[in-house]
Amino acid sequence: MPDKNFLSIKAKKGQVSEIVTWFAATAIIIIFLLISVYITSSLGIFKGDFGSLEAGQTYIPAEKSFYAYLSTPLSKEGEIENKIIYKILQEQTIKKPAVFNLKGAEADLADKIFNNFYKTNFSKIWIGFVDITAISNTPFGEALKETASLNFQCSSKSILLNPQNKINFRMDFCEV
Amino acid sequence: MIKNTENIADKKGAEKIISIYWFFILFIVAGGVIYMVILFYGEPYDVREIEANLLVNSIADCISEAGFLREQVLNKEFRDNFLEVCRINFNVEDFQEWKNEEQYYLHASFYNFDTESFIFDISEGNINLEEFCKEQYKGQKNNPVCISRSFYSLDKQGGKYKINIIGAVRKTEKNAR
């Protein structure tokens, strides 16, 4: 027959441990809730990020400049007729050996248009020839689209220069 | 017999305390969820930059096509009826006296590309919004949103142009809080 005192101590101990369990459970629930609130408030920062360039989206003003650039007639030494830049670049790809660099007046005009107009909006601007991959050139260097992946959004536009060799001329505007 | 009745009463009392506790937890969790929803969705989506971009893009499309200026752009008639020709209207919903004050502004300036000399410009909408295109106002939530875009274009005679378009949208009451 157990002692009455012993039983009441045991019952009290049981009650205390039960209360501790409830307190612990409440604390866990509240901590979990606070963490959730913190995550939600930090997610809210990214919610309103509208207006920046989406992947695959074309940047209309740059696209207009790109077509105008390719349609610009340039006078070349020793040639009577002015050729448009598209034609000049096309001939560069047909030449043997083909030239995939941007040089002379074409390079200067590209630099004046694209770097002057869009440098403030985009951290990387690249214009040049594209074979299977983009071919680096003197004024614009290496194409970012091929050298890095993710972490940036690019707007691209390309035009076919040489159907036989599948050579394109492309512009990339990237936000890194 | 009395002991048994006491035990049952004790149990019932404990159950009551537990249900009060569960209601307390339920209210805390529900309150937390409501707070989180308000925190995330309480602030309006600010779509004015998209709107200004769309405005500028549609003007660019109206002025230039495939690298060349549309022929009528250089005529005075085009400039005088710019909004109608480009099929743009500045109508807004009837909200907090928006109808009394225009909520949009656009300004297209044409420059000679080689000499950078000013040729002509077209301006429509609420001119007071142009002030907010200055660098000092950019990024401030409660101000109208203004964007500026430039592009290069040619005319059929081989003339080269630099076109600068400014688009501004007010609509502060619905987009910023």
Residue pairs spanning A and B at CB distance below 8 A? 85
pLDDT of residue A41: 81
pLDDT of residue A57: 66
Helices then strands, each counted (H, E), chain B: 5, 6
Q: Which residue has the tokens 């036989």?
A: A164
Q: Nearest C-alpha of chain A: how many angstroms from B98?
A: 23
Low-confidence ranges of chain B (pLDDT < 70): 1-14, 177
Q: Nearest C-alpha of chain A: how many angstroms from B75?
A: 21
Longest distance between any two alpha carbons in chain A, whole Å: 123
Do A30 and B160 count as a contact with CB atoms less than 8 A apart?
no
A41 neighbourhood in chain B, CB within 8 Å: 39
**Which structure tokens are listed for A127?**
């214009």
How many Å apart are CA B105 and CA B165, to the nearest integer?
Answer: 11
Residue in A149, A129, A126 with CA at minimum distance from that of residue A62: A126
Residues 6+ apart with CB under 8 A from B63: B69, B70, B73, B108, B153, B163, B165
Do A22 and B21 count as a contact with CB atoms less than 8 A apart?
yes
Is A49 an 8 Å CB contact of chain B?
no
Give the residue from chain B lying closest to A25, CA to CA. Answer: B25
- Please say whether the dihedral angle defined by the alpha carbons of residues B16, B22, B26 and B29, taken in this order, is positive or negative: positive
Do B35 and A44 count as a contact with CB atoms less than 8 A apart?
no
pLDDT of residue A68: 95
Do B153 and A64 count as a contact with CB atoms less than 8 A apart?
yes
CB nearest to A50's CB, from B47, B150, B153: B47
What's the ipTM? 0.78
How many Å apart are CA A100 and CA A92, to the nearest integer?
Answer: 7
A53 neighbourhood in chain B, CB within 8 Å: none
Three-state DSSP at A29 gives helix
Distances (CA, A) of A76 to A106, A114, A117: 11, 22, 26
pLDDT of residue B10: 66
pLDDT of residue A53: 56
Do B153 and A68 count as a contact with CB atoms less than 8 A apart?
yes
pLDDT per position as a tens digit, B95-142 = 877 878 889 999 999 999 999 999 999 999 989 888 888 877 777 777
Is B70 an 8 Å CB contact of chain A?
no
How many Å apart are CA B42 and CA B49, to the nearest integer?
Answer: 20
User: Cβ-count burial of B171 within 10 angstroms (0-12 exposed, 13-18 middle, 19+ buried)?
Assistant: buried
- B96 and B173 in contact (C-beta within 8 Å)? yes
How many Å apart are CA B98 and CA B105, to the nearest integer?
Answer: 14
Residues 6+ apart with CB under 8 A from B132: B143, B144, B145, B146, B168
CB nearest to B40's CB, from A30, A47, A51: A47
pLDDT per position as a tens digit, A36-93 = 888 888 876 666 556 555 555 678 999 999 999 999 998 776 666 788 999 999 988 8
CB nearest to A67's CB, from B47, B56, B66: B66
pLDDT of residue A148: 53
**Which structure tokens are listed for A165?**
């060799």
Residues 6+ apart with CB under 8 A from A168: A129, A130, A158, A159, A160, A161
Q: In chain A, which residue ranges form alpha helices assigned H by DSSP? A: 4-47, 60-70, 85-94, 104-110, 116-118, 144-147
Is A155 an 8 Å CB contact of chain B?
no
B38 neighbourhood in chain A, CB within 8 Å: none
Do B67 and A67 count as a contact with CB atoms less than 8 A apart?
yes
Give the residue from chain B lying closest to A61, CA to CA. Answer: B151
- Phi and psi of A168, rounded to 5°? -110, 165
pLDDT of residue A71: 94
Domain definitions of chain A by residue range: 1-50, 60-175
B68 neighbourhood in chain A, CB within 8 Å: 68, 71
pLDDT of residue B106: 93
How many Å apart are CA A121 and CA B120, to the nearest integer?
Answer: 25
How many Å apart are CA A151 and CA A78, to the nearest integer?
Answer: 47
Domain definitions of chain B by residue range: 1-42, 48-175
Is A163 an 8 Å CB contact of chain B?
no
Q: Which residue has the tokens 């969705």?
A: B41
pLDDT per position as a tens digit, A117-169 = 988 888 888 899 988 888 888 888 887 766 555 556 778 888 998 888 888 99
CB nearest to A117's CB, from B21, B68, B151: B151
pLDDT per position as a tens digit, A5-25 = 766 777 777 777 777 888 888
Q: Nearest C-alpha of chain B: how many angstroms from A73?
A: 7
B46 neighbourhood in chain A, CB within 8 Å: 48, 50
